Amino acid sequence: MKKLLFRPALLAIFLLALAACGPKWEAVQADGYQRIEQRGGATLGVVSAPILEQNGYAFKDLNRNGALDPYEDWRKPAGERARDLAAQLSIEEIAGLMLYSSHQAVPSPELTESQQKFLADDNLRHVLVTTVASPEVAARWNNNVQAFVEERGHGIPANNSSDPRNETAVTAEYNAGAGGQISLWPTPLGLAATFDPDLVRTFGDIASKEYRALGIATALSPQIDLATEPRWNRFVGTFGEDPDLDVDMARAYVDGFQTTEGARNGWGAESVNAMVKHWPSGGPEEGGRDAHFNYGKYAVYPGNGFADHLRAFVEGAFRLDGRTRSATAVMPYYTISTGIDPSGKNAGNSYSQYIIGTLLRDQYKFDGVVCTDWGITHDNARIESFDGKCWGMETLSVPERHFAVIQAGVDQFGGNNDKGPILEAYRMWCDAYGEESARARFEQSAVRLLMNIFRTGLFENPYVDPAAATALVGNPSFMRQGYDAQLKSVVLLKNHESVLPQIPDQDGQDGRRKVYVPKRHYPAFAGRFGIFGAHPDYWDWPVDRKLVEQYYEWADTPAEADFALVMIQEPYSGVGYDVKDRDKGGNGYVPISLQYLPYTADYARAESLGGGDPKESFTNRSYRGKTVTTDNVDDLSCVIDTRKAMGDKPVVVVVSATRPFVPAEFEPYADAILTAFGVQHQAILDLVSGAAEPSGLLPMQLPEDMRTVEEQCEDVPHDMRCYQDADGHRYDFAFGLDWNGVIDDARTRKYRKN
């Protein structure tokens, strides 16, 4: 018998072949789950699913059938996996995918009874997370959710999501998770004021890392509505009124959130699906009233500007620079886009076969997830109530509304935890078009929804490391970058005779300069929607004294101060509807004022462009000739009184703004004016003291008066007469000052309109 001899080269090949036949993975005990690390393969996270091995690689047997199904094979493309799984699901499971939970706070790692119910009984897999006790608690809660669903059905992971949470404060339900232990950035309007898409791309990159560490894989953002209506109280969540800037910011934001650097197709463990909102833009609300309420349900287009409102979607979010190519999800707004549907039908956007089917799906070829805004299929009890928002479909039953939404081309129902109405809608489809058609339509939505779970790698590893979350979320580097963005977002509107900066030890005086900060009146306040952020009436200093004393000596009276720092809010007069007016025999509709002094709407249109509701006996929602007062008129008094008390000494006014305002009432009394869009007080003091130089630009026009506000078209950008101050500066879009005067740089040359 001959001996079998191996040459060195053949021996190496043989040993490699032997190694290829052996396992290429090892299991590591992580915090609450097993992490399976693979050479040349996907990292898996598992608690209860059996492990299958093929060619030395590990796979999760999520449906526990003992075979490797295509959807369990991480080597296959996401589309193939989604189609395989969708075909296996029951209609009850698909109905669960089509649900999106109501807002869920996370005070502890444990699941509540209601959460267990909608995950187990209703098969819900998309959860909206608001406040969390800490990054560690959020991570552990996510892991408990994922372990709970891993052992059920086909083992579909939860796709947890969040509204914006990186702002410095919570302002309403749409960013109820903001201001916590996370990096703090300006509001979207403040990001727009930087005029820097690269900065927004960096924000998205950082925020997505923080989201994934918390167990969040979908962002219900960015809000890319074109904010052409200055009175709208969601103006602050947008990138302002300019279509070109909106396009660039939308693209940068989505690229930042969705892209994992180094990943072959852009998708990876740091990717977060971006659900852009609100198609086809909620910006042109008639009179500035908001569609969270019946009284604001009509969007109007008196200037024929509808096409401009689509641009941020079709040129920005759907046309990315990065490899993920397009935003993966879209949320329509509550509004009825008045007069847009050629058929003449007027219904909320999610119900509109023209808005969703013809435009979004057919014309613009969007095949991602479309998810309704929250609560659109619920009943609406009163014109002023914050409940259901079934605009245009008030007379239909709840299941009929679900059926109409699915017919329009929508995949998912925001704020719905109950699969029952979706199953009834399925039966309606079967009755109308046949069971084969119904199954195909529901599978189509299932594939879209599953794609976003597969792309982000949740089927492989939905678990996160609580210790890593604590270390990463809000770490010093991220906080520094967020703070730098805050500094860049503040706009210097006025700097008469260069009174700023007020350098703490300037002019060679003994000791530091002294500043007088007047107390501010905080009136009883019901919040932006009349319900969120409420607080009682009180007086207090608008900034912490200890923080101020890090820069200046605190002066108790104007007489001993070197300068005054007056901190105020933009005017707030209400939501555009007043039950008292209705009870007195009026129609209930009143103006929204952007000035502090009482305002009478003499120049408002006599006939509203939108109107009509089963609960109203009229269609004209005009408020012409009516008068409103401003809740915070004392802010104006504070500026004027401080000017009188200070004499010739400088008065610096800081306006915290969420939308445009009329500067005419207080500008003459201020030597310097800074406008801030959701920043920490330290950022203001760094700018006032000269530790940083302002570089922000107005992302909107500031109107000359309320007449121009009434006469502008809700759907048209840049159509107001702008206020001109005592120094001859016009507060137009892209205006801003630095220490040398009016800013003229690459940003203004690219975006400024005149």
507 is catalytic: no
Residues 6+ apart with CB under 8 A from 617: none
Written as six digits, the tokens of 703 are: 């109107």
What does DSSP assign to residue 585?
A: T
The Cα–Cα gap between 437 and 407 comes to: 12
Side-chain half-sphere exposure of 402, counting CA atoms within 13 A: 25
Side-chain half-sphere exposure of 115, counting CA atoms within 13 A: 22
631 is catalytic: no
Q: What is the CA radius of gyration of the chain?
A: 28
Closest to 283 in 3D by CA, of 320, 252, 237:
237
The Cα–Cα gap between 320 and 363 comes to: 18
Task: Encode burial over 489-500: b for 16+ CB neighbours within 10 A, e otherwise.
Answer: bbbbbbbbeebb
Select which of 163, 242, 411, 725 is catalytic.
242
Select which of 122, 341, 373, 613 is catalytic.
373
Number of residues in the chain? 754
CA distances from 280 to 305, 336, 338, 340, 437 (A): 12, 10, 12, 10, 28
Please give the span between the terminal C-alpha atoms of the chain, in angstroms, as a whole number: 94
Task: Encode burial over 294-303: b for 16+ CB neighbours within 10 A, e otherwise.
Answer: bbbbbbbbbb
The Cα–Cα gap between 739 and 687 comes to: 10
Given a contact cutoff of 8 angstroms between Cβ atoms, the answer to whether 623 and 591 are in contact is yes
Per DSSP, the three-state class of 541 is coil
Amino acid of residue 432 = A
CA distances from 420 to 92, 158, 389, 452 (A): 9, 20, 19, 24
The Cα–Cα gap between 503 and 201 comes to: 33
Written as six digits, the tokens of 723 are: 């206020």
The Cα–Cα gap between 379 and 181 comes to: 36
Residues taking part in catalysis: 242, 373
